[in-house]
Structure 1
């Protein structure tokens, strides 16, 4: 008597049943590809085999074919779910691709904006440097102009200080140097006479210092200057004085007014040039004035 094979939930599936389940899993893999692979293990669980165990009596049972067919048919929903899952994955991939493209486009736009900002900043810096260079050049030019004006002013002042002029503007010589006559104690004229009426202003012919101002005997009221070059000039027969001893004078400063004081026969200016303050050191006044640039 053969022993009957125990049945129930805990009976292990037959070899043919397991083989049918394996065929079903292979079919799912062939149909769904990668997604089917994910569903394959679900078909091999013990619960799935247990569900079909009641209909499989023995490996040779006629119901084995039906069980195998039932197992194969049962894999169809899994294949459909896998297709849906595959479609979802594709859609997700497309969405991610779109988002990535948008991110790359936004990044490209951001980079372009950043590049434009850098270019604008460089251009602004170049304009600032150009403006600063223009200001430096303008300041340098202004300094050159100012220095040129200052040099010109100093030169003008130097020329003014060194310039000589006639003691009476617009006058002329009436008696020459070394002219002879009894009216002069030395027997000759020690200077030159300029035509002038009483009260005509008499000015310094150059820059110097007053060393004598007052009564001078035969010269009447007179002024003697020590010039800046070391020579001396004298102005005689004045009707009045405008300076005192020790005063510094510039070319053109008024010393007094013409007259006829002292040994004189009429209003005029007696002018002498000397090498010292003493009488008798006279030199030719015309040559002296001309040597200092005075046209006479």
Structure 2
């Protein structure tokens, strides 16, 4: 029996024909949109980062921004704390300065008060016998006085009446004074002298500091007298003959007689 090669669809296609057919099929699929329908999801599913690289850049920017914000916040807090510390130190320094100024003012005021008190003490004068009066005036004449006139004044006083210094000074004589009997002589702070004669007793000693109103003895009738009283003199010097008007002297120092 003889066989013949079949023709038509049963023939095996050649290589060239197969390639042509594949190409035609791809073209047909592209034309109908099938390839497009498969290709679009595939492209959409690809990560955006792989395509553009923007996500890592954005993520890094956020981290840096967070760090910058943290640093700024820390710097702000440090600046605030520094400002508070500076303000506290300034307030403390101001308080110390104010306290020092107040202390200095207080010391100055105390010094002023002390000076005023000392000035008042130095300038305070009193009568040698409070409440008494002058019974014999200055420069009164008579044979009873060796100089022919009274070199002081006499204050009325019974024997034993307290006699006080008329001002602040230092005792330069305290004892028997001849015609003056028991006497005390005081050099006053201004350089003048006061004398207290005919005392029945003496209560101070030479060199002693006395103040206005301090008791220095008791009145009496010692020396050249006719009765108890206080003989008082004011002088420019310690010696006899340098006498001043005692009443004018006391009034000049604020004593009312």
TM range (shorter): 0.7 to 0.9
- 2: CA distance between counterparts of 1:69 and 1:83? 27
Q: For the Cα contact (< 8 Å) 1:204–1:253, is it kept in 2?
A: yes
2:194 counterpart residue number? 233
User: Aligned to 1:263, what secondary structure does the other structure show?
Assistant: coil
Pairing 1:95-114 to 2, within 5 Å after superposition? 97=58, 100-101=61-62, 104=65, 107-108=68-69, 111-112=72-73, 114=75
Q: Does 1:276 align with 2:231?
A: no
- 2: CA distance between counterparts of 1:56 and 1:183? 186
Pairing 1:1-296 to 2, within 5 Å after superposition? 57=15, 61-66=16-21, 68=23, 83-87=44-48, 89=50, 93-94=54-55, 97=58, 100-101=61-62, 104=65, 107-108=68-69, 111-112=72-73, 114-115=75-76, 117-119=78-80, 121-296=82-257
Give CA-to-partner distance per residue, 1:216-240, whole Å, 9 cap, x none. Answer: 1221111112233332211011111
User: Aligned to 2:47, what secondary structure does the other structure show?
Assistant: helix
Give CA-to-partner distance per residue, 1:157-216, whole Å, 9 cap, x none. Answer: 133124322222333222211223343333332211123333332222223332221111
- 1: CA distance between counterparts of 2:192 and 2:14? 155
User: Aligned to 1:62, what secondary structure does the other structure show?
Assistant: helix
User: Aligned to 2:167, what secondary structure does the other structure show?
Assistant: coil
Give CA-to-partner distance per residue, 1:232-277, whole Å, 9 cap, x none. Answer: 2110111111122233333333321222222233332110112332
User: Aligned to 1:115, what secondary structure does the other structure show?
Assistant: helix
Give CA-to-partner distance per residue, 1:59-111, whole Å, 9 cap, x none. Answer: xx2122246579999x9999866543334647985576367446535643652
Q: Quote the RMSD (CA, aligned, Å).
A: 3.6
Corresponding residue pairs, total: 238
Which stretch of the first structure deviates more once superposed, 209-218 or 79-88?
79-88
- 1: CA distance between counterparts of 2:197 and 2:204? 14
Q: Write 1 or 2 for the structure with the bigger share of helix.
A: 1
> Larger relative contact order (C-alpha < 8 A, sep ≥ 6)?
2
Q: For the Cα contact (< 8 Å) 1:56–1:67, is it kept in 2?
A: no
- 1: CA distance between counterparts of 2:66 and 2:26? 51
- 2: CA distance between counterparts of 1:102 and 1:130? 42
Q: For the Cα contact (< 8 Å) 2:49–2:55, is it kept in 1?
A: no
TM-score (normalizing by structure 2)? 0.74
Which of these two proteins has the greater Rg computed from alpha carbons? 1
